[in-house]
Structure 1
Amino acid sequence: MITSSTHQRILGELKTEIDRHIREAESQAEAEIIVLARRFGLRPGFAGPSPSAWYADCPGKFPPLDGQQQRQ
């Protein structure tokens, strides 16, 4: 069992982490790999909670192509 203050602290930490992921995702949304995938019609998008994990359609293949974007 946890106290109300511990519960509030955990919720605050989770909100902070989610906000950080959103900011990172938005800052990487126009990364070169995403721009190129969009240009080729591969419909890229973010996969899961990690802002650097992405997916893109691969013509003639199932499931979609998964990737992990690396910062440089």
Structure 2
Amino acid sequence: RGTEARQFFVIANVTSPAILIEGGFLTNKEDISKLASEDYRDQIAAAVADGILRYRDAASQRKSTLAATGGEKR
């Protein structure tokens, strides 16, 4: 399906980083079958955890760069 850049109510006005994850749709028989699989759910969880860690690392890198340049972006 891809991604969409839309403002969803649940994440539109948050004051900290937020994501909306759709691991599948209960109206889709193929998705229901996948979601019944512990392995599939583990894959989703691992991908979410990886994304969070990558965000944390990128944010930390930005913070280090700003500190090293006296607050100026490079």
TM > 0.5 between the two?
A: no
TM-score (norm 2): 0.42
- Give the structure with the larger helix fraction: 2
**More strand per residue: 1 or 2?**
1
